[in-house]
Amino acid sequence: MIETNGKLRHNRLIILRSDLSAKAVRQKGRKLIEFERVAHSYSGGELFNEVSLRLAPGSFHFLTGPSGSGKTTFLKLCYGALVPSSGVVRIFDDDVRQMSRDDIALARRRVGVVHQDCQFLDHLTLRENLALPLTVSGHEALDDDANLKELMGWVGLTSRADALPPELSGGERQRAALARALIMSPDVILADEPTGNVDWEMSQRLLTLLIELNRMGKTIMIATHDLGLIRAAKNHVQARVLRISGRRLQLAGADL
Amino acid sequence: MIETNGKLRHNRLIILRSDLSAKAVRQKGRKLIEFERVAHSYSGGELFNEVSLRLAPGSFHFLTGPSGSGKTTFLKLCYGALVPSSGVVRIFDDDVRQMSRDDIALARRRVGVVHQDCQFLDHLTLRENLALPLTVSGHEALDDDANLKELMGWVGLTSRADALPPELSGGERQRAALARALIMSPDVILADEPTGNVDWEMSQRLLTLLIELNRMGKTIMIATHDLGLIRAAKNHVQARVLRISGRRLQLAGADL
Amino acid sequence: MSVLRSVIDFAIGDAQAEKAVPPTGFTVRLTVFSAAAMAFLVVFALALSLAAGRLADRWSDELARSATVRISAPAAQMAAQTEAALNVLRTTEGVESARALSLEEQRALLAPWFGPELPLDALQLPQMIEVIETASGFDGDGLRLRLAGEVPGAVLDNHARWRGPLVSAASSLRLLGWVSIVLIALATGAMITLAANAALAANAQVIAVMRLVGARDSYIAQAFMRRFTLRALAGAAGGTLFGAFALLLLPSASEEGGFLTGLGLQGAHWFLLILIPILAAVVAFLATRLAAHNTLRSLT
Amino acid sequence: MSVLRSVIDFAIGDAQAEKAVPPTGFTVRLTVFSAAAMAFLVVFALALSLAAGRLADRWSDELARSATVRISAPAAQMAAQTEAALNVLRTTEGVESARALSLEEQRALLAPWFGPELPLDALQLPQMIEVIETASGFDGDGLRLRLAGEVPGAVLDNHARWRGPLVSAASSLRLLGWVSIVLIALATGAMITLAANAALAANAQVIAVMRLVGARDSYIAQAFMRRFTLRALAGAAGGTLFGAFALLLLPSASEEGGFLTGLGLQGAHWFLLILIPILAAVVAFLATRLAAHNTLRSLT
Ligand SMILES: Nc1ncnc2c1ncn2[C@@H]1O[C@H](COP(=O)(O)OP(=O)(O)OP(=O)(O)O)[C@@H](O)[C@H]1O
Ligand SMILES: Nc1ncnc2c1ncn2[C@@H]1O[C@H](COP(=O)(O)OP(=O)(O)OP(=O)(O)O)[C@@H](O)[C@H]1O
Ligand SMILES: [Mg+2]
Ligand SMILES: [Mg+2]
């Protein structure tokens, strides 16, 4: 199912660029994302509290919990879309509270996010949408073209490259969102329910891609309710499973 | 997990109103939705062809197929959001091609649809959104209030009744979309991936609700890639599983 | 009657339907604001037109349409030549009436120059004939030629003609006023159409959800139309009131006092102002209707 | 220099960034249209103001500021009374100059009434004094009283005063023109602000996606600002051209021909028109900037 040639070529390209960002990480110290006694509540009430966590470089995390327990909220705290109600969140060693809007924009170029509701620019083609992170950060489009093509092949969207997002199926949108999150070869990948709308085979394929990236040193966190996916991953990678339950973030036992 | 009292009360209410629509169905003959040698293609190419199918009242169908095979397209044909490229689709005995826009609007009041990308009116509360089908068809809100409350309890959204849709989590939106599709007690329920974003327990709960409705005579079609869900349903209801593969609609074997 | 009935129904509206449209949209505010601004400008353009119209009428009636023929002749021929000149004038196209002035009238005319004690009897005064033109006026050069041929002592002086340009100026000012009103009305219509289209485009999701749950086109369109029509009505009413208030602050218009000093409205003209918001509402209604039905037709 | 540089950079723009904003929006068309309509109206208001201004200047200079004093006295006292009247006038506030008319000038004044052959020598003609007022004018009643006291035979006739209202009319017309221009400019600014806000509200998803993939605020704002500024510039330029063309179709403005017939622009005033699109672009730039930064601040 997975062509080894393609995989290698893809990896090489990603490594090429990730050298740069890896250096940046080293200069900044070894911390990527750090929670310190974090609590968050919306107007409705507190979702969780006393959450302390450090995402070490190269780690692989799953985040589970019932619907409405706060998985998406947790991820939003990770990429600065929310500021915690109390406690401290640090992204690349900077306290989110102290970061300017531009700082957050720059940090996001090193964090690939797959939103639960995948949104795109509906007037641009899929290809242009996938290249958007590059465009926005001022990269030359040309030199990333091979990378883009390969990524599209991986997520099975090559034939839809010129379609507009409203013409995509639900699963296609989800795969496109994952591809867009990966195109900048970010240090951290946060994916919110990235396989909710794809069939089992495709979800295995996407998982393999994420595991490959993790092997290359990327830090990965996936919020999902799909226990089958977690079980499948555990066969290939040392993944920690976090569970939000009873307003606490807990490490899930070996029962998964 | 499922309170029998609540269920009964809910059923009674639903039956009360469905008497009327059941009569309408009888007058119109016993056909709900009928495909006759239907083919559909977007600009990209043909998705399926030679599809003939008759949804008998009280039947329970699953629709599967890989991502991008045309499940959503098939459902859209069922509720008149698309006109087939060739062949005939009849909704309540009317050829979709011959139906006026108002005819289609009226037909939709008898078809409950759960969209894959659940959209709401973002400026209305969840409660108002769930009552929207009633409002739009000129029902008095008051007399449906008990029904609405019960439905919200079933999908676990009672505490979020006054939230605005953008404040809901992904799973909450999906459950809300299902509740909105059921509020009019429609003859036919078409659900596109209704459990993609909810945990296993909640998906069982939603399935139970749909099975209950089916037992009361509702016709149900669920597009999903979640084979676990299909297997679970088969224990409780006589469901036919349709699969789109190789541009054909096939009846899946007992291998599920 | 039934039109009135449906207008009232429309104004009362379906509170439920209107709730479906998000309450604060910049496009709605834009509609209120442009209706108000445009109504304000229309009030001024209207006042300008009406004042210019009054001015043109008065000038052309009272002043521009008079000329003089002066007859200098030996005393013996005076009566005959006066009669001949009057004959010529009566048969001239563009002359409404001609009348020889009496001695007293001539004395009054000369008073500013010589005082009232002028010894007229001692003087050989020329005879003056007052000529009133028709609206179209006469051909001065042609008349001069005819008089020269038939009444040797007659001199035509259409000195009052200098006001002609003033009258045409006032007329063109009035025209400018009306042209501005038409332009502003067109611009308002176009703006409300565009604003309604923008609102509908921005609310594509609202419309899609409404269609999905079985709302008819007319129900959806109604919600938008009502919103925009009422907002345009309110905006234009506000703008008109504001404009009327501003007019009141200007020096008031009176029949005797000056020509254009009073830009204000007079009497019944104030009621014209009521038409402004009504027209704005009608324009908004039609514009939104068009926009809504166009947008809806593109959705399934 | 660096301002110019950044204006040029802005105009060239970042093609990539602008692509992020959906190409056809009704809000953008709305901006083009309102800029054009407003520019068109401004051209007319400007022409009206300038023409009214010219008119007011000419009338007040040439006509309104003159009056006459007539002295009727026995021949022996004539010179003394004339001298006395001139003395009074010279010491009157509001009188710029006073001058006794010569015999020839009086004859010319009377020609319309008596013909050029008037036997002036045979007549005991009154002496006329021409009085030129200052801009503020004199107090007619006060002057009359003083003259009655010191020069028994003098009669003041400020008949030319009737033009006063005309001058003030022209002035208020000019004021009206400028007020309209300011109003239109404000309305345009508000409309573009609202249109930009509507565009940003309609593109909330675009902005959210851009933020998500790491675009800076300035990058996003720039795309919108450029779009709106250039569209306002284009719209206003079109409207101005159209308005200028319409002005050319009106009877032309000439110094000698009539008072207000020529509503057109004269000479250097045509260059004022270039300012209209530039101002529109500046307004659009600032309005969009404000709107964009407000919208962005509400997003994470
Ligand atoms: N902006 C908001 N304002 C108020 N409440 C919110 C807001 N966003 C989310 N919530 C509420 O917070 C709770 C957690 O939301 P969140 O999206 O983090 O859940 P989740 O774990 O991702 O759930 P799901 O699996 O259904 O996606 C939910 O009950 C949700 O309704
Ligand atoms: N409006 C459209 N124009 C062109 N192509 C479209 C359009 N809508 C869908 N498609 C294409 O048709 C194919 C089938 O789409 P559809 O949404 O029916 O798939 P699906 O079976 O629901 O997939 P999924 O499980 O991913 O939701 C996809 O490849 C999609 O890209
Ligand atoms: Mg979530
Ligand atoms: Mg689908």
For chain C, give every domain's residue range: 2-60+164-297, 73-152
How far D215 CA lies from chain A's nearest CA (Å)?
A: 5
Mean of pLDDT values over A228-253: 88
pLDDT tens per residue, range D210-256: 998 889 998 888 888 888 888 889 999 999 999 888 777 765 444 33
A164 to chain D, any CB pair closer than 8 A? The answer is no
- Please give the share of chain A, as a percent, with pLDDT higher than 90: 57
Confidence band, pLDDT 50/70/90 cuts, at residue C259: very low
Confidence band, pLDDT 50/70/90 cuts, at residue A27: very low
Mean of pLDDT values over A194-202: 88
CA B162 to chain centre: 24
How confident is the model at residue C287, as a pLDDT?
Answer: 85
Q: Are A60 and A237 in contact (CB under 8 A)?
A: yes
Cβ–Cβ gap B121/C209 under 8 Å: yes
Confidence band, pLDDT 50/70/90 cuts, at residue A20: very low
**Dihedral sign, CA of A89, A93, A95, A99?**
negative
Q: Pocket of ligand 1, candidates A38, A41, A46, A73: which has the most ligand atoms within 8 Å of its Cβ, to mutate?
A: A73
How confident is the model at residue C166, as a pLDDT?
Answer: 63
Q: Is the pLDDT of residue B70 over 90?
A: yes
Ligand 2 and A228: CB distance under 6 A: no
Q: Residues, chain A, total?
A: 256
How far B172 CA lies from chain A's nearest CA (Å)?
A: 7
Confidence band, pLDDT 50/70/90 cuts, at residue C255: very low
Confidence band, pLDDT 50/70/90 cuts, at residue C139: confident
Mean of pLDDT values over A127-151: 82
- Please give the share of chain D, as a percent, with pLDDT higher than 90: 4
How confident is the model at residue C69, as a pLDDT?
Answer: 82
Predicted complex ipTM: 0.78
Cβ–Cβ gap D172/C263 under 8 Å: yes
Rounded Cα distance between C231 and C219, Å, is 19
Confidence band, pLDDT 50/70/90 cuts, at residue A178: very high
Q: Are B237 and B214 in contact (CB under 8 A)?
A: yes
A190-204, C140-154, D62-76: range with highest mean pLDDT: A190-204
Please report residues of D whose CB lies closer than 8 A to that of A106: 214, 216
CA-nearest residue to C15 within chain B is B135
Q: Is the pLDDT of residue B75 over 50?
A: yes
Confidence band, pLDDT 50/70/90 cuts, at residue A25: very low
Give the best residue of D21, D24, D26 to mutate against chain C (max C CB count within 10 A).
D26
How confident is the model at residue B173, as a pLDDT?
Answer: 93
Name the nearest CA neighbour of C89 among C152, C138, C158: C138
Q: Are C110 and C70 in contact (CB under 8 A)?
A: no
Question: Can you count the helices (H) and strands (E) in chain B?
Answer: 9, 10
How confident is the model at residue D184, as a pLDDT?
Answer: 80
pLDDT tens per residue, range C68-90: 788 877 778 888 888 888 888 88
Rounded Cα distance between B121 and B166, Å, is 9
User: Smallest Cβ distance to A68: which of B68, B169, B193?
Assistant: B169
Please report residues of C whose CB lies closer than 8 A to that of B105: 211, 214-217
Query: Which of B192-206, C117-131, C248-262, D147-161 has the least mean pLDDT?
Result: C248-262
Specify the 3-state DSSP secondary structure of D34. Answer: helix
Mean of pLDDT values over C205-229: 88
Query: Which of A174-183, C98-107, C171-180 has the least mean pLDDT?
Result: C171-180
Interval between CA B65 and ligand 4 midpoint (Å): 10
Confidence band, pLDDT 50/70/90 cuts, at residue C160: low
Tokens 């008819």 — which residue? C216
- Region class of B173: left (phi > 0), else alpha (psi between -120 and 50), else beta: alpha
Rounded Cα distance between A71 and D71, Å, is 105
Q: Are A41 and A200 in contact (CB under 8 A)?
A: no
Instruction: Output the six-digit token pair for C17.
Output: 């339907």
Give the best residue of C19, C209, C217, C296 to mutate against chain B (max B CB count within 10 A).
C209
pLDDT tens per residue, range B120-170: 998 899 999 999 998 888 876 555 688 888 899 988 999 999 999 999 999
Please report residues of A whose CB lies closer than 8 A to that of B65: 199
Domains and CATH numbers, chain B: 10-251 (3.40.50.300)
Q: Is the pLDDT of residue D85 over 60?
A: yes
Instruction: Output the six-digit token pair for B114.
Output: 């759960």
Please report residues of C whose CB lies closer than 8 A to that of D169: 258-261
Which subunits have 3 or more CB–CB pairs within 8 Å of chain A? B, D
Which carries the bigger pLDDT value, residue C167 or residue B36? B36
Cβ–Cβ gap D172/C126 under 8 Å: no
pLDDT tens per residue, range D36-77: 888 888 888 888 778 777 777 766 665 556 677 878 777 788
Q: Is the pLDDT of residue C97 over 50?
A: yes
Query: Which of A182-191, A212-221, D62-71 has the least mean pLDDT?
Result: D62-71
Q: Are B150 and B9 in contact (CB under 8 A)?
A: yes
Contacts of B243 (CB under 8 A, 6+ apart): B63, B64, B65, B249, B250, B251, B252
Q: Pocket of ligand 1, candidates A40, A67, A69, A114: which has the most ligand atoms within 8 Å of its Cβ, to mutate?
A: A69
D217 to chain A, any CB pair closer than 8 A? The answer is yes
How confident is the model at residue D61, as a pLDDT?
Answer: 61
Q: Is the pLDDT of residue D14 over 70?
A: no
CA B135 to chain centre: 19
pLDDT tens per residue, range B99-123: 999 999 999 999 999 988 888 998 8
How confident is the model at residue A81, as a pLDDT?
Answer: 92
pLDDT tens per residue, range D99-118: 888 877 777 766 666 666 66
Which carries the bigger pLDDT value, residue B86 or residue C180? B86
Confidence band, pLDDT 50/70/90 cuts, at residue B10: very low
Query: Which of A183-187, B2-6, C233-237, D81-85 has the least mean pLDDT?
Result: B2-6
Mean of pLDDT values over D262-268: 66
Q: Is the pLDDT of residue D10 over 80?
A: no
Mean of pLDDT values over C207-212: 89
How confident is the model at residue A220, as a pLDDT?
Answer: 95
* Residue D5 exposed, middle or buried by CB count within 10 Å (0-12, 13-18, 19+): exposed
Rounded Cα distance between A73 and A64, Å, is 12
How confident is the model at residue A89, as a pLDDT?
Answer: 95
Confidence band, pLDDT 50/70/90 cuts, at residue A110: very high
Which carries the bigger pLDDT value, residue D238 or residue D201? D238
Cβ–Cβ gap B101/C217 under 8 Å: yes
Ligand 1 and A44: CB distance under 6 A: yes
How confident is the model at residue C100, as a pLDDT?
Answer: 85
Which carries the bigger pLDDT value, residue C42 or residue C63? C42
Ligand 1 and B172: CB distance under 6 A: yes
Rounded Cα distance between C142 and C140, Å, is 6
Q: For residue B55, which phi and psi values (nearest 5 degrees)?
A: -85, 105
How confident is the model at residue B241, as a pLDDT?
Answer: 93
Amino acid found at D298: S
User: Smallest Cβ distance to C201: which of D26, D165, D186?
Assistant: D26
Mean of pLDDT values over B234-251: 89
How confident is the model at residue C113, as a pLDDT?
Answer: 61
Q: Are C199 and C232 in contact (CB under 8 A)?
A: no
Mean of pLDDT values over B14-26: 44
Contacts of B210 (CB under 8 A, 6+ apart): B189, B191, B220, B222
In terms of C-beta distances under 8 Å and separation of at least 24 residues, what long-range contacts does A152-160 make, across chains too?
Answer: A152/A126, A152/A127, A152/A179, A153/A6, A154/A6, A154/A10, A154/A179, A154/A205, A154/A209, A155/A179, A155/A205, A155/A206, A155/A209, A156/A202, A156/A205, A156/B67, A156/B68, A157/A126, A159/B44, A160/A126, A160/B44, A160/B68
Rounded Cα distance between D42 and A220, Å, is 60
User: Smallest Cβ distance to C44: which of D29, D176, D202?
Assistant: D176
Specify the 3-state DSSP secondary structure of A167. Answer: helix
Give the best residue of B42, B121, B178 to mutate against chain C (max C CB count within 10 A).
B121
Which carries the bigger pLDDT value, residue A123 or residue D190? A123
Specify the 3-state DSSP secondary structure of D260. Answer: coil
Which carries the bigger pLDDT value, residue D118 or residue C67? C67
Task: Tell me the pLDDT of chain A averaged across its residues.
Answer: 84
pTM of the full predicted structure? 0.78
Q: Are C78 and C62 in contact (CB under 8 A)?
A: no
Beta bridge partners of B35: B53, B89
How confident is the model at residue D258, as a pLDDT?
Answer: 43
Confidence band, pLDDT 50/70/90 cuts, at residue A218: very high
- Please give the share of chain A, as a percent, with pLDDT higher than 70: 85
How confident is the model at residue C228, as a pLDDT?
Answer: 85
Rounded Cα distance between B226 and A225, Å, is 12
Ligand 1 and A64: CB distance under 6 A: no
Task: Tell me the pLDDT of chain C averaged across its residues.
Answer: 77
- Please give the share of chain C, as a percent, with pLDDT higher than 70: 76
Helices (H), chain D: 2-12, 15-19, 26-59, 75-90, 103-114, 140-150, 164-202, 204-212, 217-249, 269-297
pLDDT tens per residue, range D280-298: 899 889 888 888 888 888 8
Tokens 């990378």 — which residue? A147
pLDDT tens per residue, range C17-31: 777 777 666 777 778
Q: Is the pLDDT of residue A12 over 80?
A: no
Cβ–Cβ gap B66/A199 under 8 Å: yes
